[in-house]
Amino acid sequence: MSEWKACKECGVPRVLTKEYLWLDNGDIVQARDQRDRIVFTECENLDPLFRGIEEIIATPISHVVIDCVRRTYRTYCGLFLPKNVDELVKKKRLDLKSLDDGLAALAAPMGVGRYGFVDMRCEWDDGDFYTVSVSEPNSIPMCVAAHCGAIEAIQGRDHGVRYAEKTPGVFEITEDIADRPEPSALLFWEVETDASAVTAIHDHRRYAGRTVCLRLAGAAPVSPGFVADLQVEHPLLYVDEVVFRVSDNGSGSSGSTVGEWFVDGVTAYTLSLIHI
């Protein structure tokens, strides 16, 4: 038997059906704020998608995902809470753990994950923290962000967050005040200026986080002439440096071989090769 009471008509847990409205046009919206629509999505590909993006741009994006989702859940969880909930918690008229337990109870039927209380401190100073475990997360960074947003909605203040896998498939999440959220911007270019002008522009882009090696191979001609070429088309590939290597067991002579790099048919780089 399911741990949640289900609707007899659709089989969906009532904890969900009472929070959402199915409109005549097919939209599913939040009952508490009908401006927000709901979608069903497969979650198995979320973390592989994030990792794939990181590999392409060679830059971590988990902090971006956490920051964006954290803010979304902070707004969403706020719909379930009194407007002055932070003051009520501070005055001990409402219990922080009880409020978080109530929000966490919605997470499993919504497919976010199964949260469990671990430890907490709430004295309204920089030593405060809140730790939970989570299993069956729909996405690790999104699940981390969801609980962080819930705690922020209750306490009305920003939190830093850290997490680690404690046992296979079970993660421990800690929000605290000492570590504020890190900026969610991705650094691709860094610009230096003085009082009047731009003095330097630093390119921090990378492709796939590693050197892209394009291998050319072809039989050496009897007389000087063409050996091989390779055309590459990729919207994210850019040239940082060009290195040619010719292996002929030392039988050639420096300057007798030339490598050229063309961009849209125009020579962009020419180099006389040193034979190895």
Tokens of 58: 């060679």
236, pLDDT greater than 80:
no
Q: If you count DSSP H runs as helices and E runs as strands, how many of each does the chain have, helices first?
A: 6, 10
Place of tokens 């927000």: 36
pLDDT tens-digit readout, 164-173: 999 999 999 9
pLDDT for 274 equals 46
C-alpha separations of 211 from 124, 208, 242, 245 in Å: 49, 8, 11, 15
Confidence band, pLDDT 50/70/90 cuts, at residue 276? very low
Show the domains of the chain with their CATH numbers. 1-40 (no CATH), 62-185 (3.30.1380), 211-276 (no CATH)
**How does strand 198-203 pair with strand 189-193?**
antiparallel
| Lowest-confidence segment of 28-42, 81-95, 220-234 by average pLDDT | 220-234
Report yes or no: 49 and 141 within 8 Å, Cβ to Cβ: no
Handedness of CA 123, 129, 134, 138 (dihedral sign): positive
Lowest mean pLDDT among 136-140, 176-180, 230-234: 230-234
Q: Which residue has the higher pLDDT, 119 or 9?
A: 119
Instruction: Give the global pTM.
Output: 0.65
CA angle at 240 for the pair 233 and 227, rounded to the nearest 5°: 55
Strands in 91-197 per DSSP E: 114-121, 129-135, 160-167, 170-176, 189-193
Q: What pLDDT is stored for residue 260 in this prediction? A: 67
What pLDDT is recorded for position 214? Answer: 61
Rg (CA), the chain: 28
Whether pLDDT at 243 is above 80:
no
For the stretch 20-78, pLDDT in tens is: 888 888 888 888 888 888 877 888 899 999 998 888 777 788 888 999 999 999 998 99
Q: What is the DSSP letter of 246?
A: B
Which residue would you say has higher pLDDT here, 25 or 187?
A: 25
